Amino acid sequence: MTTDTTENNGLRIIPLGGLGEIGLNMTVYEYGEDIIVVDCGLMFPEPFMLGIDLVVPDISYLLERSDRIRGIFLTHGHEDHIGALPFVLQDLAAPLYGTALTLGFVKEKLKEYHLDDLVDLRVVTPPARVDAGAFSVEFFRVAHSIVDGCGMAIGSPEGTVIHTGDFKLDQTPVDGRPTDLATLARYGEQGVLALLSDSTNVKREGFTLSERLVGEAFDEIFPTCAGRIIVAAFSSNIHRVQQVVDSAARCGRKVLLNGRSMVANVQIARELGYLRIPDGLLMDLKDLHRLPKEEVCMITTGSQGEPMSALTRIAMDDHKQIRLEPGDTVILSSRFIPGNEKTISDLINHLYRRGAEVYHEKVSEVHVSGHASQEELKLVMNLVRPRFFIPIHGEYRHLVWHARLARRTGIAEERCLLAVNGDVITFRDGEGAISDRVEAGRVFVDGKGIGDVGEIVLKDRKHLSEDGMVVVIIAINQGTGEIIYGPDIVSRGFVFEDESQEYLDETRKIVLDTLAGVNLEVMADWNEVKMEVRRVLRRFFNKTIERRPVILPVILEM
């Protein structure tokens, strides 16, 4: 691990998250005594992270240098870019810079943790420049699947770095604000030291479709629906909500918002002027049954089939106020997030069982990506013409493919720096290389606990989920070493006790026979007794039924 230093070691770029996974985006820029941070995101748990609620970046490197942080700069308001702020800001104090909607979402999130009055939020309206120590940060607009997305031109004594954030080159965006190619071209003319670019869609050929196509798909589908329409989308996708509202209004349908985050985000977007909803169009849930089915359009969360989401409960016929009926239409207006395919497939099956017609991205253009495809990525490279290229925001395969794409545009192989979380990328006197490593990784959030669950606990949970647990309860006379109670065998997830009494009786006999052959000196040492019980039962279970449960001997003092 690198040691702290205050001497000028050039410009150092240190990714603490987002390189090797989708999510967890966090990048540190350091020059001399000054540090700025770009984004502070989380990721949702992978299947092996049993019981984990959220994953946030390890900020150990920043905690040791907290007095040098001049600001946290946010590209946009998606969870994978702002979601870790409530946890990080409990230990770090730094001003937050972002656009109005981004900070609107951040403030709502901080309220849940009673931090909203403690954090310095500074609204930036692109194009605008912020000076932060040795750095100057110019925000420029980019089109994405959320309103108010930005990229950043980060100036330093070593040169300018372009950090794109998440983007695509939508030439007909819903809000009329396309990606600011003029600013990218201007910096390209001036000279750019390095380009850090979104790798999410690098494998997709051509161009990403415009968001307006989704609105056109809604306009085609809505008039054909005889019953209620339920559109499931991410609550942060204000452009998508706007297009649902517009299509519903044209068809004479009232709009019901369902889901806490959907209601909150729509309110924030309306207050800031990013969402236009005509007066009288929104309806309350209590009015749902008063309107004819053909006059109802519902916008809800739960497009990924989350177990407790409103849409899942509707699909399972477990919602108190909303029941699907034949003739209703459900539109899943979001992508199938990798790893969620089976859950979403099950959701669709349940919706069909209720008699609904279902549209999703596999059968209709009810969703388009917010990330640039190959031709857009190449166009940005050619506009910026960076001396060095660093792919970001993607799994490792995405980073590799993006580096290959950069080489095809003429960027030399040795100037394509393929970094991972914790790598220190150093630029000095026009040269750049991966020079060092710092501590980086993932911190697990489980309930109210932050970081108290590590790899060993996850391994234990995985072990328990696969092989179950056996508890062996024994009472031993402390003076004589005599067993005066037990062994009592209690199992969970191992065998069904009511049907396995004969096997459990044999297990008890094995323990008794083993302890009968142990001398009194060993019986007086409870740790030795526990080790002996684990050893004999581990061998017995493996030999008889080839299972390896967690074995927990409990010794009672009598």
Neighbours of 266 (CB within 10 A): 23
- Collapsing DSSP to helix, strand or coil, 500 comes out as coil
CATH 3.60.15.10: which residues of the chain? 11-206+369-450
pLDDT (average), residues 336-347: 78
Whole-number pLDDT of residue 38: 98
3-state secondary structure 539-554: HHHHHHCCCCCEEEEE
| pLDDT tens readout for residues 70-111 | 999 999 999 999 999 998 998 899 999 999 999 999 999 999
E strand or H helix at 230: strand 229-232
CATH of domain 11-206+369-450: 3.60.15.10
pLDDT at residue 357 tops 70:
yes
**Predicted local distance difference test score (pLDDT) of residue 539:** 87
Considering 144, 371, 393, 398, which one is annotated as catalytic? 371
For 271-280, what is each residue's pLDDT tens digit?
999 999 988 8
- Is the predicted pLDDT of residue 457 greater than 70, yes or no? no
| Distance between start and end Cα atoms, the chain | 51
pTM tops 0.85, yes or no: no
Confidence of residue 2 (pLDDT cuts 50, 70, 90): very low
What's the topology of domain 212-359? Answer: Rossmann fold (3.40.50)
d(CA 276, CA 470): 59
- Provide the mean pLDDT of the chain: 87
Of 4-8, 196-200, 253-257, 487-491, give the lowest mean pLDDT range: 4-8
Residue extent(s) of CATH 3.10.20.580 domains in the chain: 468-557
For 529, the token pair is: 């007794």
Whether 173 and 239 have beta carbons less than 8 Å apart is answered as yes
To which residue do tokens 């230990």 refer?
A: 91
Q: Is residue 53 a contact partner of residue 35, using CB atoms and an 8 Å limit?
A: no
Q: Which of 526, 229, 491, 243 is nearest to 367 (CA)?
A: 243
| Res. 1: pLDDT tops 70 | no
Domain with CATH 3.40.50.10710 in the chain: 212-359
528 and 485 Cβ atoms separated by less than 8 Å: no
| pLDDT class of 204 with cuts at 50, 70, 90 | very high
Cα distance between residue 274 and residue 332, in whole Å: 23
CA gap 474, 511 in Å, rounded: 10
pLDDT score recorded for residue 532: 82
Is the CATH code 3.40.50.300 the one for domain 468-557? no
Is residue 371 annotated as part of the catalytic site, yes or no?
Answer: yes
Q: How would residue 251 be classed by pLDDT, with cut points 50, 70 and 90?
A: very high
